Structures are given as C-alpha cells and as structure tokens.
Amino acid sequence: MNSHLSFPDYLVFFVYFLIVSAYGYYIYHKKKSKVSDSKDFFLAEGSLTWWAIGASLIASNISAEHFIGMSGSGFAMGLAISSYEWMSAVTLIIVAVFFIPIYLKNKVYTMPQFLAQRYNGTVATIMAVFWLLLYVFVNLTSILYLGALAVESISGISFEYCMFGLAIFAIFITLGGMKVIGYTDIIQVVVLILGGLVVTYLALDMVSDKFNGRGVLSALSIIKEKSDDHFHMIFSEGHKYYYELPGMAILFGGMWINNLNYWGCNQYIVQRALGADLQTARNGILFAAAMKLLIPLICAVPGIAVYVLYQNGYFQQEMVDAAGIVKPDRAYPTLMNLLPQGLKGLSFAALTAAIVASLAGKCNSIATIFSLDIYQKFFDKEASEKKLVRVGRWTILGAFAIALVITPQLKQLEQAYQFVQEYSNYLTPGAFALFFLGLFWKRTTTLAAVIAATLSIPLAVAFKIVPEVPMPFLHRTGWVFLILTVLMIVISLLDKNSKSNPKGLDIDSKWFKVTSSFAILSILVSGIVVALYAVFW
C-alpha cells in the first residue's frame, strides 16, 4: 500500500495551499486599517455573510476528530456515531431561534462577558479559566494529534514534522483574525466536502467490487446487509458501546445538554455569529445545520465500509498495530492511501483543510477569551485596541507552544473522538446550567451561579469515579446538569430579592420570531433528521 504522496498529489496540495494563503492575504489587506480594532480582529464585526458564517461553523467544527476519529467510531460502533451530527442539525436551529437574538440584543462578544453581565466577574473568571484549559489541553491538542497522525499515515512524513507543519499553517491563518478565518473557511469547506466525497466513493466502490455489487449505490445495501449491527442509531443497555451512546439519552437526555452547550454557549462556535446582524446570523446557522446532515456520509460511512472489508479478510495488516490490536482510527488513512495520484492529493488537502480550519478557529477563541476576559480585566484595564490585538496574537503562539508539547502524549488513545466528547463533558453540564437559567429565568442569582460554577467539575468527576459500575458520560452529563439546575433554583428562590434581580434579562418574545423561509427550511431539516432515526432506529 502506498503511504506516500506522489508529485501530482503534492501539486494538488500546493495549489490548495496557494489559493487559501493568497485569499487569506487578500482578505487581511482588504480592510487593513481596521486590524487594530479588537472587535474586528476577534469577531470580524459586520464583515461575514450568512454563507461565510455557515461555512466557518462547519469548517471549525469538522476536523481530524471527524475524518479520523468519527470514521474510526464508524468502524467500531457504526452509524450510531452520526447522532452527534444529526442531533446537532436540530440543535443549531434551536440556537438560531432562541439563543442568538439574546446575545446580539445584549451586545455579547464573549461567553465570559455574558456571565459577567448576567452574574458577576467571579463566575466569568472561573468559567473563562475552565474554557481556556479545555480548549488548550483537550481540544487543541486532540485536533493536532489526530491531524498529525493522519498526515503521517498518508504522506510518510514523521509525526513530529506533520505536527509542526499543521501548527505553522494554522498560525498563519489565525494571526489574520476572524475575518481571514471566516472567509478562508469557505474554501476549506468546499475542499473538505469534495475530498471527503472522493474517499466515500472509493470506499463504496471497493465494497461493490469485492462483493459483486452493481455500482456505488448498491454498496450501501451491501454494507447494510453485511454489518446490520452497525446500522442502529439507538443502543440498548448491555450493548458493547452503550457506555459511549447510552440509548434514549441520545434523544431525550444528555445529548441535548451536550449539543446545546457546544452550539449555543461555546465561544469557539458562537463567536462566528456574534459579529453579524440577527437575520444574517440565523441564515448562516441554518446553512450549517443543513450541511450537518451530510457529515456522516463523508465521515462515518467510510469507516463502516472498512469494517465490512476487514471482517471479510481485507486490510488485516493495516488495521492492527504491532501488538495485533485493532485500531479503528486507522480506517480513514487506510482508504486515503488507496486513492490514485491526484485524487489522493485532493483528499489530503481536504483533511488538511479540516484540521487547519479547526485549529485556527479554536486558537482565535482562546485568544479572544484570554485577551478580553483575562488580560484586559486583570492585567491592563486601559489596554488599547492595538495592544489587545497584539496580546491575542501572542496568546495564539503560546497556545500552540503548549499544544505541541502535550500532543505526542496522546498516542495511547484508541478512539480519540470519544476522548474529546467525554472530557469536554466534565465542563458541559455546569456551563449549560449557568447559561440556560441565566438566559431564560430572570430570578437566577449570582450566588447560585458561583456555587454551580464551583461544583461543576468536582461533581462530574465524582459521578465518574464513585459508582462501582461506570456510568455513561451522557448520563453523567444529564445528572450533573439536573442537580446543578435544581440547586441553582433552590438557592435563587431562597433569596428574597431574586424577584427584582437587577441582572436578570428582559426578553421580548418578538426576538424569537423568524421569517417564513427560515421556518420552512428548519422544518425540512428537522423532518429529515426524524426520518433518518425512523429508518435506522
């Protein structure tokens, strides 16, 4: 199997790199006079169109953890891993209708800023520190690790060189600010979808060829027949992967908390819409929701196809390590190494686009939170706009330096996608409780928020280590959220002054009204999700 890139592959990749770099340079200099404006640098205020917002949401969300990690989970557990994508499509619609208008009407630019306005600086600082730790030590490192692992498997270049190369490319994009990230993400999304579809086509064509099918479409029915256990969305208790995807918690439990927090209360994601007007932001988010429906096709399906081939005697060497242990995360790189010259370069560019876009988006959010919510607040309250941008750029470099040190330590992981989901959820229930009650219940008090923010991680850890039988992390998420929510409600109700809470938000129901076209398209997206679950229950 060819695990190196040929000259045509490098040529395709070089063209991609040149186009992204040149376009980023053009966008950066188009409004160079505003580069010292922190809101322009961090949010691209008023500059992103709806399609740029939607593309940036997808490009920042889809990374190696999807191409490699989700494909690996597809190999291991099947189509059920698509719940993260299909449930996200519905979640995005909810965020567009109910969350975004509140943020925009209250001129919120960062998530810690919202917590400071709604509660106090203590709550904001606690969560800002938690977010920074999560973004740097879990998210940034896992993206870099999976990306370097994939590039190494495909190109033959050493893991360390791949890691540094991806970091440098991402730094180049990130230093230009959110405007550069947002518009280059348009190119990144086009490349990653086209390249992803190429790999999916290869996988299905191979299945059709090996099992005497009648083309790519027939391969879908073949893999369904050969691996029926991989085409069920809801696992029953006792299933091998019930711990990762615990049955009805997907539809009625912790998955909602996980998704609403990620898409509605996460600086890394929400930041793309905070610089736009309401209608533009909503249209961009709806566009992202529609694209979410396609992600399993280019990420999970190839992994299932490799599983079918592996079970029938193919890829016996490629899918196991030196100790003979099956490594699901090798599924996608194995397919990419089979692509012909040129197409392999396109898929390599797609993978790189996904990795770099996510790295850039994540680091921009790290820089935004540190500069506006830590540095300006505690170190230099009178910092100029130009200085904040400079601090943001130094933060980007610092975050990558830390990630480059930690990333090699993640080589022991089996399914990195599940690693990211589980450890992110130590913070998820507490963060969402703060936002959910802070946004929609005026009586929520600052004391309740401080206590919830303080207890969030310890309570999540307790649910992880105390029970004799390990509890699925989505169940932990649900229980911790429920406990913290009840605690916040009780504490708030005990405060006699909570009825006239001056920091409670005044919400106008008119904010939640949407256009007819938005409503129709939202119903269509939601209907498709319902149909998918009905078919693959």
pLDDT of residue 107: 82
pLDDT tens digits for range 279-296? 999 999 999 999 999 899
The pTM of the full predicted model, rounded to 2 decimals, is: 0.84
DSSP symbols for 485-517: HHHHHHHHHH-GGGGG-TTS----GGGG---HH
pLDDT of residue 46: 55
Is residue 25 within 8 A of residue 156, CB to CB? The reply is no
Amino acid residing at 430: G
Q: What pLDDT is recorded for position 179?
A: 62
Q: Which are the contacts of 521, defined by CB distance < 8 A and separation ≥ 6?
A: 286, 290
Distances 469 to 127, 329, 464, 482 between C-alpha atoms, Å: 30, 27, 10, 20
Residue 362's nearest CA partner among 138, 196, 37 is 138
| Single-letter amino acid code for the residue at 356 | V
> Where do we find the tokens 């993640």?
410
Token pair recorded at residue 82: 């698509």
Token pair of 10 as six digits = 């490098």
CA 434 vs. chain centroid, Å, equals: 21
Task: Tell me how far apart the alpha carbons of residues 69 and 420 are, in angstroms, rounded to a whole number.
Answer: 10
DSSP string across 449-474: HHHHHHHHHHHHHHHHHSSSSPPPHH
| 327 neighbors 414 (Cβ within 8 angstroms) | yes
Give phi and psi for 215, each to the nearest 5.
110, 180
Radius of gyration of the chain from its Cα atoms, rounded to whole angstroms: 23
Alpha carbons 361 and 140: distance in angstroms, whole number: 10
What are 302's two structure tokens?
A: 């190839």
pLDDT of residue 91: 95
Domains of the chain: 7-17+49-424+507-535 (1.20.1730.10)
Q: Using one digit for the tens of pLDDT, what is the confidence trace for 411-433?
A: 665 555 556 666 677 788 888 99
Query: Would you state the pLDDT for residue 181?
Result: 66
CA 504 to CA 163: how far, in whole Å?
46
**Token representation of residue 359:** 């790295």
User: What pLDDT is recorded for position 38?
Assistant: 55
pLDDT at 487: 94
Residue 205 CA to residue 213 CA, distance in Å, equals: 9
Which stretches of the chain score pLDDT less than 50? Answer: 1, 33-36
Rounded Cα–Cα distance for residues 433 and 447 (Å): 14
Distance from C-alpha of 32 to C-alpha of 25, rounded to nearest angstrom:
10
Count of residues in the chain: 537
The pLDDT value given to residue 34? 46
C-alpha distance across the termini of the chain, in Å: 37
- State the greatest distance between any 2 C-alpha atoms of the chain, in Å, as a whole number: 74
Q: How many CA atoms lie within 13 A of 68 on its CB side?
A: 34
pLDDT of residue 524: 96
Phi, psi of 198 (to 5 degrees): -60, -45
Residue 412: per-residue pLDDT = 65
